[in-house]
Each structure stands twice: as C-alpha cells, then as structure tokens.
A and B are shown apart, each in its own frame.
Chain A
Amino acid sequence: MLWLFVIVVSAFSLFPFYWAIVSSLKDPSTMFQVEYWPSALEWSNYSSIFKEQPFGKNIWNSILVATSTVLLCLFVGVLAAYSLARVEFRGRGLLLALILAVSMFPQVAVLSGMFELVKSMGLYNSWGGLTLSYMIFTLPFTIWLLTTFMRQLPRELEQAAIVDGASSWTVLYRVFLPLMGPSLVTTGLLSFIAAWNEFLFALTFTLTADARTVPVAIGLISGASSFESPWGRIMAASVIVTVPLVVLVLIFQKSIVSGLTAGAVKE
C-alpha cells in the first residue's frame, strides 16, 4: 500500500521530465501525436539548437554565473557566519533577522531597483551583473545555514587553536573549514541550482543572445515562422541543462543529506 503511494508520487514528479525526453526525440511533424514511447529517435532537435543560436555560449554563461555565484557566496557566507556565530557584538540577532528579511522580498519587488544598480555599476548585459544580483537570494540561506552549523562546533576547539597561537583567520581556514565540508557542499549546491535556474533577473539584466543564460535562451527559442512552436528544440534544450544538475546532485547526494540534517539531533 505504501509502495503504491511511492510509485504514484514518483510517477507524478518524474513524468514531466520523461515527457520532455520523449518529445525532444520526436520529429516536429509528429510532435502532437500522443506517444508514450519514442517511436523513432530523432536527434535533429539537439543539433539544431546549437546551430541556430549560441546555445553553447549560453551554457557557458550559465556555468560561469552559477559557479561564480557559488564561490562568492561561500566566501562571503563563511566569513559572515564566523562573525555571526563566534564574535559577540551588539545587534547580532537583529542583523541575522535582517539577513533573513532580505530573502523575503519577491524578486519583482527588487527588480527595478536592482536594474538601476546593475546598470550604474556597468554590469548590464554581463555575467557579473547576474552573479551580483543572485547573491540576494543565495546569501541569506547560505549565511543562516553556515551560522547554525558553525555554532555547533565546540567552543573549546576554537580556544585550543587560539592557545596554540592561531589567528582568527587560521582558526577559520585550518580548523573550521575542514570540518564544514558537508554544510559547504549543501549550501553550495543549493546556490548553484538557484543560480542555474533563475529566469527573471537573467531576462531583465541581459540584452543580447550572447549574454543570455540557459533558462532565458530556452524561453526565447523561436520557430522558423511565427506559426511554428519549436517544442522539440525547447525540450531538447531543457534536457541538456537538467543533466548537469542531476549529475551534481547524484555526486554530492550523501553530503547533502548529512548537511541538511546536521545538528537536527544532538550526537
């Protein structure tokens, strides 16, 4: 009975992805015939997205933006978490609450202000503008997660390092960082996925096809005429950009689980 439920839920969540794969392998002419199993493997959708637009460049943009977001986010996040978890100062609780509050605004609300900011910094239509704006939603949960994790590291460990002559910087990168692997992987991966899938900022802060990231590029794929919907190519592109995420999650699966539940129970 329970298994039946599991099967139903899995089918429900996996079917759209399966449908995308099947559709991407269809010839445009057979696109609207309902088939649950691809009858003929048609790879032209995959090749045409690279030919008719700079999709390779778009993927490269996405990798660049997502990776730089993760790196910058972890760097700032670790430093912020160290001070928020370990240094006592006035207004620490308020600051933590504010950081959380930042992530509560809907993207649309900050869009126009962010646009002006990105433009004035000369980052419009470049990956730097996207990286910077993505910090808005990746930094809050990164800081919160890392702060919580760092609070659980025993204080005596830090004191031992201080007695051994370590500076704050040494404590951080030689004692704390090696112990924070799982939480770094978890927050890094969540940031990566968020940056990889983001659409609204990417659409607004880029202009030319060469500067677009994958979600925008897919959204703007157009057919040969306005009467043709290029579903096959859209599906092919979607499958291509999903694969890296699946691979990443599979690689880091173990660390994610241990990272997300870290500190849930006392060991």
Chain B
Amino acid sequence: MSEVVFENVTKIYSGKTTIIPKINLRLPANELTVFVGPSGCGKSTLLKLIAGLEETTDGKITIGGRDVTYAPPAKRGIAMVFQSYALYPHMTVFENMAFALQIAKSSKEEIRNRVSEVARILQLGPLLDRKPRQLSGGQRQRVAIGRALVRNPDVFLLDEPLSNLDAALRVDMRIEIAKIRQSLNATMVYVTHDQVEAMTLADNIVVLRAGVVEQMGPPLEIYHKPVNKFVAGFLGSPSMNFIEAKIESVQGDIVQIGGEGFAKTLAAKVKPGAFKSGDRALLGIRPEHLSIESDGELQFVTSLQEQLGDHALIYGSVGASKCTIKTSPTRAFKAGESLSLKVQADEVHVFDASEKNVVVFEAR
C-alpha cells in the first residue's frame, strides 16, 4: 500500500529556473499512473523527485505515508528503469541484476534465488552470462526491468522505457509491461510522451504542461472529458479538430453555435453564464465523431485523403479552420470537393476564450 503523495512540491533549478511551480498530487497505491506532456513539461523531473535523484526545493513527498523528501534514493523503496536502460556495460546480465542486492549485503544464496526468479519471469535465463552489448534492444530493456524487479520495490518508476525501441518491438514490450504490471504488487509511475502507451497502460493519466497538472484521471475520462484545449489536443490521434465559431444565441444553458463553414447551428449545453450571444468560441470535435452525411451541420472542403485499409483519413477545412475526418473506407474524393458533415452531438466540446472546456458533461 504505497501511495505516493506530493504536497506543495516545488522544484527550482540553480535558484532561478522553475520547473515545478507548486504541485499537489496523489498517485494511488498499486495503480499505474502515467505522466504525459510535451518535452520540458517536468514529467521526468517529477519522476526523479520521487526517486530522490533530484533534490526537492520545497514541499513534501511521501511514499506509503512515510516522508521521504530528504531520504536517499536507496532508502525510498523505489526502483527505476531508465530511458537509456543504463545497464552497467562491464557486468554480465546476472551481475547487473545482482548489483543492488550485493550492495545491500544479501547472502549469495539469496541473490542467486532472487535473480533466477526474476530471470524466469522475464525469460532472461539463457542470457544471464552475457554482457549488455551482446543483447538486442528488447533484451536490454528486459534486463533493465529485471534489475528493477529484483529489488522488490514498493514504487516502480519507468522513465520513457520504450522510446529507444523500434515501433514493432515497442508494441511487444508494451504488452509485456502490461503483463508484468498485473503480476506485480507495486505502485507504478510511468513517464512517456507516447499517448498510445499512456492510453493502454494507465490506470490514471496525469497531463502536465510547464510543471502544472492540467488534468488527472482514468484514460477514458481524459479522452472523453478533457478540461481544456491543451488536454483535448494532446490525447487522441489524429488530434481533435478545433473549429473557430461564434455563439449565435443563448437560451439558459443551451447555446447555438454557428459561424463560417456551418450549414446550420449546433446546440450544446454549457456551464451557465459561459457565453453571451455574439461571443467567439472554439468547437472541439474528434475526427472519429464526424461523419459524411447529407444535411449535416458543417460544410467541409477536402484537400487530401489517406487510405489506411481499415479506415480513411480525409484532411480539409471547415471555414478557415483545418479539419480532419476519420471514416470507414470510402470512395476517393477529389481535392476541393465540398461535403456535408454530421457532428455526433454527445461528443461536442466547446472552449471559451480562456480555452477552458465549458461543455456540461453531466448531460451525457
């Protein structure tokens, strides 16, 4: 039961560069939490703060209720898998995995048992006598995970563990990590910029921007109920369409959205007082929630089409805004063709001037 809690944690580099302004975060015990965000958003820094590889400037970090803010890394009950694997090049796979136990002065027999047990789980048995340079990328990755598992950590930290692998291997390792996760009784924290990894592995996703938590929640909640334009645009591929629009009329909490490229107005339920008639707004709609149907709300002009076999992507514009549609395989369209798009009403997002999502989700 090792919940990781950040209380008012601040991280400032060399007295001036603020990486983490002030963060409060609770990572549930025995769940896998993924930190996502663009590069430089502080996700790796947060991980290193948990690990103790970076000093906390201010605030408190607890693991399982124990204050570890100033504890050395080895005393925190954590293990970490690094982006570059960071295997000790001059040691064999066995020695790599045994290193932590040797330092902790475990008995020879205990070390052998523990390493061979982990090696069995990760199918590393035949590789134990090899040096890291004799291993493939996927094998090195498994050794790095093994080295962390051997320590039997309460909190398991992974820093972009798959980013050095090629695409095919990455899918395999992702599934492998998901399997390990099921058999492991530990809190896991996983940093990535790959949204597929985030969506598939996470119990909870934390979306970060410039050291600030934009949103935290289960993957599908983040996907379906993004709180602002940044989160909405960050998760999902292709990313969400943002269409410049205008509030045509307001009746209670129902607004009618229209503007350039709208064939007719679109109704949405928003938070009371979010808009008044004539305000500018941003309509957010994912490519898979648009369909080509006559009598739709949007006028779409095609420019390019990609056929991917199981589905097709059509790029074009609505009014002055770029727009992408994801459909089932369809006939080829000429560039410049005008299509009518129907919007799936319960997947509409409306962003106000401060880019907050003001749509009322409870109505769905």
Contacts and interface: CB of A to CB of B under 8 A. Distances in A.
Given A165-B74, A179-B89, A179-B90, A160 B103 contact: no
B82 A166 contact: no
B80 interface: yes
Contact of B90 (A159, A160, A170, A178): A178
Contacts of A162: 53, 72-74
B104 interface: yes
A165 B103 contact: yes
A73 B266 CA distance: 79
Interface of A: 154, 156-157, 159-166, 170, 174-175, 178-179
Contact of B53 (A163, A166, A178): A163
Contacts of B51: 159, 163
A175 B104 contact: no
Given A163-B51, A165-B103, A166-B103, 17 more contacts: A156-B83, A156-B84, A159-B51, A159-B82, A160-B80, A160-B86, A160-B87, A161-B88, A162-B53, A162-B72, A163-B74, A163-B80, A163-B100, A164-B74, A164-B99, A165-B73, A179-B90
Contacts of A157: 86, 88
B84 A165 contact: no
Contacts of A175: 88
A170 B100 CA distance: 11
| B72, B86, B103, B104: residue with the most chain A Cβ atoms closer than 10 Å | B86
Nearest to B81: A160
B88 to A, nearest CB: 6
B82 A165 contact: no
A161 B99 contact: yes
B201 to A, nearest CB: 21
Interface string B132-169: 00000000000000010001000000000000000000
B205 interface: no
A159 B90 CA distance: 16
B103 A164 contact: yes
A137 to B, nearest CB: 31
B74 A159 contact: no
B85 to A, nearest CB: 8
B79 interface: yes
A235 to B, nearest CB: 45
B186 interface: no
A161 B86 CA distance: 9
A161 B95 CA distance: 12
Given A163-B53, A165-B100, A156 B90 contact: no
Contacts of B100: 163-165
A163 B86 CA distance: 11
B78 interface: yes
15 contacts: A156-B84, A159-B51, A160-B80, A160-B82, A160-B86, A160-B147, A161-B88, A162-B72, A163-B79, A163-B100, A164-B100, A165-B100, A166-B99, A166-B103, A179-B90
Interface string B52-87: 010000000000000000001110001110111011
Contacts of B72: 162
Nearest to B89: A179
Given A163-B73, A163-B80, A154 B53 contact: no
Interface string B316-333: 000000000000000000
Q: Name the 5 nearest CB pairs between A and B, nearest first.
A: A165-B74, A164-B100, A156-B86, A160-B86, A178-B90
A162 B99 CA distance: 11
Contacts of A170: 103
Interface string B94-118: 0000011001100000000000000
A165 B78 contact: no
Contacts of B48: 159
B186 to A, nearest CB: 15
Contacts of A161: 88, 99
Nearest to A178: B90
A150 to B, nearest CB: 15
B46 to A, nearest CB: 15
A159 B87 CA distance: 11
Contacts of A166: 74, 99, 103
B179 to A, nearest CB: 23
B73 to A, nearest CB: 5
A243 B80 CA distance: 52
A156 B51 CA distance: 13
A166 to B, nearest CB: 6
Contacts of A156: 82-84, 86
Contacts of A159: 48, 51, 53, 80, 82, 86
B82 to A, nearest CB: 4
A156 B53 CA distance: 10
Nearest to A177: B90
Interface in B220-253: none
Given A156-B83, A170-B103, A163 B88 contact: no
A165 B80 contact: no
Contacts of A178: 90
| B51, B74, B104: residue with the most chain A Cβ atoms closer than 10 Å | B74
B144 to A, nearest CB: 8
